[in-house]
Chain A
Amino acid sequence: MLKIDDLHVTVGGARVLNGLTLEVPQGEVHAIMGPNGSGKSTLAYVLAGRPGYEVTRGSVTYDGRDLLALPPEERARHGVFLGFQYPVEIPGVNNVYLLKAALNAVRKERNQPEVDAFEFLALVREKMRLMRMEESFLSRGVNEGFSGGEKKRNEILQMLVLEPRLAILDETDSGLDIDALKIVAEGVNSLRARERSFVLVTHYQRLLEHVVPDRVHVLVRGRIVKSGDRSLALELERRGYDWLAAEAA
């Protein structure tokens, strides 16, 4: 599904990713963990195509296609979804109709007709119930005046409606209380499927108690220094990151 090979990335002249290699097979959930500044969010942004991130070496293949050659909007239409660490407020642009436009963009790529307005609303309402979001979110501006937790739930709502094939969730757990974390985890789990892969970028392992990953990778100074199963996350919780940083040095 996703194959990252020897990826080198600089941001504003600074080297952030230094030969990152990672493979996420179809249907698996992989967690990327690491200390602050290790390049976790950079990885998420590079995969989604944010401008300002310069790939100096390496490749990213998604579904056999050169992902880095695609502009961000095409990646989205091909089923790549980024759940933002800091979802952007866009006053004046309607939240639910942005979602509809996003869904239609994906459907167009798949040669499907535009979604029926009533079916769409029914779908959104169903997913909103799952995310415990109030009806009023339908009429609000994109993330406008949302609390931190509401923004994160809104990201997951978008993911549930768009049904991406590759979901990259960038610290979706940060800033959530335990109840909101459970709701978000439920949302993610409800979407786990054989044809879908997840990359969970997180600093703490508590999300992984609710969304059990197939693999855990530790990112230090822009490269994967250790990979393992879920027990690695627990070990990191116990021992911190310093011992790995020392090993990597």
Chain B
Amino acid sequence: MSGDLTQRIAQEHAVAAESLPSAVVAHARRRRAIDALVARGLPTTRDENWRYASLRPLERVRFAPVQGNLNLTQGSLPSAIRGYAPIPGYTRYVFADGRLAAGASGPAAPQAGVTVHAPSRTAATLPSLAPLDRGSEPEGAFELLNEAFAVDSAEIEVASPAGVAPEPIGLEVVFIASASAQQGASYPRLRVTVAPRCQLRLVERHVSLGDEASFVDSMVDVQMHDGASIDHYRVQQLGARATWMDTLSATVGRSATYRLHSIGLGAQAARSTVRVHLRGEGAELALHAVAAGDRQQVLDQYAVVDHAAPHTRTEESFRGIAAGRSRVAFNGKIIVRPGAQGADSNQSLRGLLAGADAEIDVRPQLEIYTDDVRCSHGATAGKLDETMLFYLLSRGLDRDMAQRLLKWAFLEDVVSRIAVVELRTQIEQSLAGQIEELDALKELLHGRPST
């Protein structure tokens, strides 16, 4: 089946190749990506790291990129994102079905020190910073698929103008999917380079406009030079029928700090592969992931962190809730290479089963090739604590409220790390489900009066 599918993808690519912009990915590279994809094939659930993913929707996908004709405006976002609020001081870039939608982006003036361009609209020069050694070539099937078909790209370069102290830059990149998978696929593409000692705050969203069964294959590449820092918030809130395949690769230089927050709420089937290469001495990763599944959703995340230099650090936490008949999985692999002495990693992975037919899988994995490291991990999966529930009921709280409160409390230590207030509020609203109870819940959780 997988072979037939890659053949079909190659045929669709051959037909579309002419019209795919070389400014986004050179034709020769696209060709190589397709060849590699055909050679390696698509993953199947028999593959060790794809056991929990839902790959069946792929059979019905038309892989050629959808011809976007959405006319988005500034007012389009609130209808795509419940509770959306612009983040003060952030510049927003909106992509519709993979293409920059200038009408919904803004404010127009770029901030000092940041270059953002989308090849579909501008002929600006490519970032001048030398690319870092990623540690590995694009190898994932879905990364290759994006490389072959992408029609546009958000290219972000953050550097400090000469003589100016680096100020944190705030950017929001919103990828909107609107088309059905039968019409064509959407290929969000985001490449980020941060110069030495520069700081970036990046909010990346994947959302739907409408309720089509879209196929979205996103690729994110992050390169951090020495001493750089990024707070990266990734929010997946696609529509209930969408399929999301996602690959993020990050290379973190010496003493650079990458804080990655991943929030998975939407889509019918979502799979995210995260590869972080801690390449320079003292490079740090904090990965905080939340996933809340309901109905028949499948939310699967695979994170590989590669400690390739001394004194690199990883702090990884995952909180997942599976309600209804959903399946939620997090597989966190930590590799410590020879020579990465003094590496330090801590994994705290917890799953909560909130539905009789739901499934939770949390799996920490360690591969250590050097002495003198500190790696600790904890992984638990269980049901809502009955004694906690009874305690709350015995104090007069509604059963519904008590259950929701316990689920929230479970997610709280990860959600509370979202430092962007507008974003945290919106996430909390999504999680609360019923907005009218939000204030009450907030009070109970944070002890902060409703605002």
Which A residues are within 8 Å of any B CB, using their own CB?
48-51, 71-73, 75-77, 82, 84, 87-88, 90-102, 105-106, 109, 117, 138-139, 142, 158, 162
Q: Which of A50, A84, A87, A97 has the most CB of B within 10 A?
A: A97
- Is B447 in contact with A138, judged by CB distance below 8 angstroms? yes
Residues of B within 8 A of A72 (CB): 390, 393-394
Residues of A within 8 A of B394 (CB): 48-50, 72-73, 75-76, 82, 84
Task: Specify which of B386, B398, B412 is in contact with A51 (CB 8 Å cutoff).
Answer: B386
Tell whether B84 is near chain A: CB-to-CB under 8 Å: no
Residues of A within 8 A of B410 (CB): 92
Nearest CB in chain B: distance from A109 CB, A: 8
Task: Specify which of A71, A96, A162 is in contact with B393 (CB 8 Å cutoff).
Answer: A71
Give 5 closest A-B pairs by Cβ, nearest first.
A105-B396, A92-B409, A94-B447, A76-B396, A102-B395
Contact digits for B438-450, partner A, Cβ 8 Å, 1 yes 0 no: 0010011111010
Tell whether B129 is near chain A: CB-to-CB under 8 Å: no
* Chain B, interface SS category: helix
Nearest CB in chain A: distance from B263 CB, A: 17
Tell whether B388 is near chain A: CB-to-CB under 8 Å: yes
A-B contact count (CB 8 A): 89
**Which residue of chain A has the shortest Cβ distance to B416 in the bound complex?**
A92
User: Bound state CA distance, A92 and B376, in angstroms?
Assistant: 23
Which B residues are within 8 Å of any A CB, using their own CB?
386-388, 390-399, 401-402, 405-406, 408-410, 412-413, 440, 443-447, 449
Residues of A within 8 A of B387 (CB): 88
- Is A101 in contact with B445, judged by CB distance below 8 angstroms? no
Nearest CB in chain B: distance from A162 CB, A: 8
Q: Which of B386, B390, B440 has the most CB of A within 10 A?
A: B390
User: Bound state CA distance, A98 and B408, in angstroms?
Assistant: 14
- Is A73 in contact with B409, judged by CB distance below 8 angstroms? no
Nearest CB in chain A: distance from B306 CB, A: 32
- Is A90 in contact with B406, judged by CB distance below 8 angstroms? yes
- Is B412 in contact with A92, judged by CB distance below 8 angstroms? yes
- Is A77 in contact with B408, judged by CB distance below 8 angstroms? no
Nearest CB in chain B: distance from A139 CB, A: 6
User: Bound state CA distance, A117 and B446, in angstroms?
Assistant: 15
- Is B412 in contact with A88, judged by CB distance below 8 angstroms? no
Residues of B within 8 A of A95 (CB): 447
User: Bound state CA distance, A75 and B409, in angstroms?
Assistant: 25
- Is B409 in contact with A90, judged by CB distance below 8 angstroms? yes
Residues of A within 8 A of B413 (CB): 92
Residues of A within 8 A of B397 (CB): 73, 98, 101-102, 105
Residues of B within 8 A of A91 (CB): 409
User: Bound state CA distance, A73 and B405, in angstroms?
Assistant: 15
- Is B444 in contact with A98, judged by CB distance below 8 angstroms? yes
User: Bound state CA distance, A84 and B397, in angstroms?
Assistant: 16
- Is B447 in contact with A139, judged by CB distance below 8 angstroms? yes
Task: Specify which of A73, A76, A94 is in contact with B444 (CB 8 Å cutoff).
Answer: A94
Q: Which of A48, A84, A93, A95 has the most CB of B within 10 A?
A: A93
User: Bound state CA distance, A95 and B68, in angstroms?
Assistant: 51
A88-B445 in contact given A73-B396, A93-B405, A102-B397 (Cβ < 8 Å): no
- Is B444 in contact with A77, judged by CB distance below 8 angstroms? no
- Is A94 in contact with B390, judged by CB distance below 8 angstroms? no
Residues of A within 8 A of B444 (CB): 93-94, 97-98, 101
A94-B445 in contact given A73-B397, A102-B397 (Cβ < 8 Å): yes
Instruction: Give me 17 other A-B pairs in contact (C-beta within 8 A), A94-B443, A98-B395 excluded.
Output: A73-B397, A73-B399, A88-B387, A88-B390, A90-B391, A91-B409, A92-B409, A92-B410, A93-B409, A93-B444, A94-B444, A97-B443, A98-B392, A99-B395, A100-B443, A101-B443, A109-B396
- Is B447 in contact with A101, judged by CB distance below 8 angstroms? no
A-B contact pairs, 8 of them (CB 8 A): A49-B393, A51-B390, A71-B399, A76-B396, A90-B406, A91-B409, A101-B444, A102-B397
**Which residue of chain B has the shortest Cβ distance to A141 in the bound complex?**
B409
Q: Which of A77, A91, A94, A138 has the most CB of B within 10 A?
A: A94
**Which residue of chain A has the shortest Cβ distance to B450 in the bound complex?**
A117
